A and B are shown apart, each in its own frame.
Chain A
Amino acid sequence: MKTIEIRWHGRGGQGAKTAALLLADVAFKFGMQVQGFPEYGPERSGAPITAYNRISDREIRVHSNIYYPDYVAVVDETLVGSVDVTAGLREDGALIINTVKTPEEAAALFPDYHGRVVALNARKISEEALGRNFPNSPMLAAVVAVSGLIPKDDFLREMRSSYQHKFAKKPEVIEGNMKALEMAYDAIGGQAR
C-alpha cells in the first residue's frame, strides 16, 4: 500500500485533532502503521488548527508536517477563504468538506482545485444522530469512506469497540455516535466515484 497522507483543518475545540487521533487508532487496529499528530501552538478555542495522519503498511519515519496530502478534511466550512485548505492537495485525492452545500456548489468554492470535492453535512448528521453538533465523528467516517481505507462493516465494528472503551462511563452516547458514523459513511457512498 502507498502511504496515505491526510490533512485536517478545523477550529480549536471542534475535535479535528481528536478525529485525526481516532483515525490513527482505527487504522492501527487493522494492522496498519500510523501517525496522528496536530500542529501545536498555544490552545486557542476557535482559532484555525491543523492535524495530520500518515497511514502506511511500512514504518513511518518522516516527522514533518504534510504538504502534499492525498486527502484534506475541512471540519469547518468558515475556514475556506482564510485558510488555503487545498494547498498541495493531490488531484488524484479528494477534499472532504463539512457543508450544507451540494457537491457541485462545494466544488465551486475551489476553482483552482481540479480533484474531487466531497460535500458532507456533518452538522445535520450529528444533530440528527447525537442531538448535538459534533462534526468530527461524521467527518471521520467520511474520510474512511472516501479514502477506501477500511470497509464499512469492519470500520463500524471496530469503532463500536473503541467507543465502548472511550465512553465506558456514558454508554448512552455510543449509539448516537455509531449512527452518525453510519449515516456519514452512507452519505459518502452516494458520491462515490
Chain B
Amino acid sequence: MTNEKKMSTPAAPIPERMSGNEAVAFAIRQVNPDVMPAFPITPSTEIPQMVSSYIANGLMDTEFIPVESEHSAMSAAVGAESAGARSMTATSSAGLALMWEELLLAASNRLPIVLTLVNRTLSGPININCDHTDSMGARDTGWIQIYAENNQEVYDNYIQAYRIAEHRDVRLPVMICQDGFITSHGVQNISLLPDQPVKDFVGTYAPEEYLLNPGKPVAVGPYAVTDYVMEARKAQREAMENAKQVILDVADEFAALSGRQYGLFEEYRTADADYVMLIIGSAAGTAKEAVDELRGQGKKVGVLKLRVFRPFPEKEIAEALANCRAVAIMDRSENYSGQAGALGSEVTAGLYRQHSDILAVNYIYGLGGRDFTTEDAAAVFEELREGVEEGRPVGQYRYVGLRG
C-alpha cells in the first residue's frame, strides 16, 4: 500500500504552458493508472482523447475502454477497481448525471476510483459552459470532491488524488473538478513535475482484497438487509470524515515534493478582513485580484477559496470566518431550495452550529458560463459593507449580474 508517510524531496520543476485538460492528461500519463473507461462529452472530451494518443504513442500502457455511455464508463470503472486495477474516468455535465447510480455504488463499495470532472452546467436551457450544477448535483453520492482554481491546481490535485482515495482510513472515490472551458481550455503557465518523482509519490496500487486474487475470493456489493444499511452508511461517513486529515497529510507531502502547499481551503488576506468572499474554482482567482485592488483602497477584504467540498470542512470554515463581519457565499449552481446553492446552505448551517452571528449573504453567480469579473466581486464586497456599516438591508439570496 501507499499509505506509509514518505519523505519527498523537492523535484526540479518543468515550466510549461498548457490548458487544464492538457494538464490533467499529462498527469494521467505520469500516474499511468491501470484502466480508463471513458465516453466523450464537452468540455472533457480532450482528456480521453489525449490519453488515447499517449497510449497509441507508447507513452503509457493504461487499458483504455471506449464504452458506449457514461453509465457504462462508471460501471466499468467499478468493475475494474473491484478486480484490483487502479481505475479512472473523465466526464462533464450530463455524463456525470448518467453515472449517478454508479457514483453511489463506487463510494458505497469503497472503491478508490478517480474521476476528473470538467464542470459544465446541466440542461436546461441546454448549454455547454461552466457552472457547478453537475458536481453539486453529485455532492451527496459519497465522493470526495476537490476543486481547482487553475490548470496548476488541477494537475496537482490529480497527482494527490490516488494517495487520498486509496488510503486505508479512507478508501473512497475522488472527484477532481475544474471549471469547463475557463480552465479546461484556457492555456496558462504551469509548473510540471518530472515523471519519476510523480510515480514515486503516487506509488503502485496494492489493494489487500480484490476480485482477481486467486485463492482469496471476495464478494463485492452484496445485498444488505435492513439490519446493515445504517451501519454501512455510518462507516462510510466516518471514512469521509477521516479523509480530512488524509487530504492534509497528502498535501504536506506534496508540498515537500512540489513547493506548493494545499489545504481544505485557502485563506487569502482574510486575517484582518471585515468582509470575506467564500468561493470555489476559477472565479476565486478573479476575486483575489479584486481583493488586491480593494486593499489598495484601504478596504479590509479577503477571499476564502474552498478546495475541498467533500468532506465539507464546516467547523474549519466557521472558525476561519469567526473574526469577519460579513461573508458572501458564492454558489455557481442553483439548487432551488430557496436557500441559494449547496455551498450557501452548508456554510450557513455550519455558522449556525458554531453559534456565529456574522452577516452571511448567499449569492448565485456564473451560471451557464456567465462571466464573473473583478467588478462583480467588488460590487459584492460593497454590498456587504453597506449592509454592515450603513445598515442597508441586504437580501439573503442574490444573483450576480442578473438582468432585470
Answer whether A and B touch in the complex at a CB cut-off of 8 Å: yes
Query: Once bound together, how far apart are the Cα atoms of A128 and B265, in whole Å?
Result: 55
State how many residues of chain A have any CB contact under 8 Å with chain B.
Answer: 21
Smallest CB separation, B400 vs chain A (Å): 12
Given contacts A25-B17, A28-B17, contact A64 B371 (CB under 8 A): yes
Choose one: B43, B128, B187, B283; the contact of A63 (CB below 8 Å): B283
Query: Once bound together, how far apart are the Cα atoms of A130 and B189, in whole Å?
Result: 31
Q: Chain A contacts of B372 at CB under 8 A?
A: 63-64
Tell me if B289 and A33 are in contact (CB < 8 A): no
Smallest CB separation, A86 vs chain B (Å): 19
CB of B188 within 8 A of chain A? Answer: yes
CB of B197 within 8 A of chain A? Answer: no
Smallest CB separation, A74 vs chain B (Å): 21
- The 8 A CB mask of A40-60 against B (1 = contact, 0 = none) is 111000000000000000011
CB of B150 within 8 A of chain A? Answer: yes
Q: Chain B contacts of A37 at CB under 8 A?
A: 181-182, 185-187
Tell me if A63 and B183 are in contact (CB < 8 A): yes
- The 8 A CB mask of B112-134 against A (1 = contact, 0 = none) is 00000000000000001100000
Q: Chain B contacts of A1 at CB under 8 A?
A: none
**Looking across the interface, which residue of chain A has its beta carbon closest to that of B372?**
A64
Q: Chain B contacts of A63 at CB under 8 A?
A: 150, 179, 182-183, 186, 282-283, 285-286, 372
Tell me if B189 and A34 are in contact (CB < 8 A): yes
Q: Which of B177-209 contact A (CB under 8 A)?
A: 179, 181-183, 185-189
Tell me if A61 and B373 are in contact (CB < 8 A): no
Tell me if B43 and A34 are in contact (CB < 8 A): no
**Looking across the interface, which residue of chain A has its beta carbon closest to that of B290?**
A62
Smallest CB separation, A66 vs chain B (Å): 10
Smallest CB separation, A103 vs chain B (Å): 31
Residue from the set B149, B189, B286 with the largest chain A CB neighbour count within 10 Å: B189
Q: Chain A contacts of B71 at CB under 8 A?
A: none
Q: Which of B369-404 contact A (CB under 8 A)?
A: 369, 371-374
Tell me if A40 and B128 are in contact (CB < 8 A): yes
Choose one: B182, B188, B369; the contact of A60 (CB below 8 Å): B188
Tell me if A40 and B188 are in contact (CB < 8 A): no
Query: Once bound together, how far apart are the Cα atoms of A33 and B286, in whole Å?
Result: 16
Choose one: B149, B179, B185, B371; the contact of A65 (CB below 8 Å): B371
The list of the 6 closest CB pairs from A to B, nearest first, reads A61-B285, A37-B186, A63-B282, A28-B17, A36-B187, A64-B373
Interface, chain B (partner A; CB < 8 A): 17, 43, 128-129, 149-150, 179, 181-183, 185-189, 282-283, 285-286, 288-289, 369, 371-374
7 intermolecular pairs with C-beta atoms under 8 Å apart: A34-B189, A37-B187, A40-B181, A41-B128, A61-B149, A61-B150, A61-B286
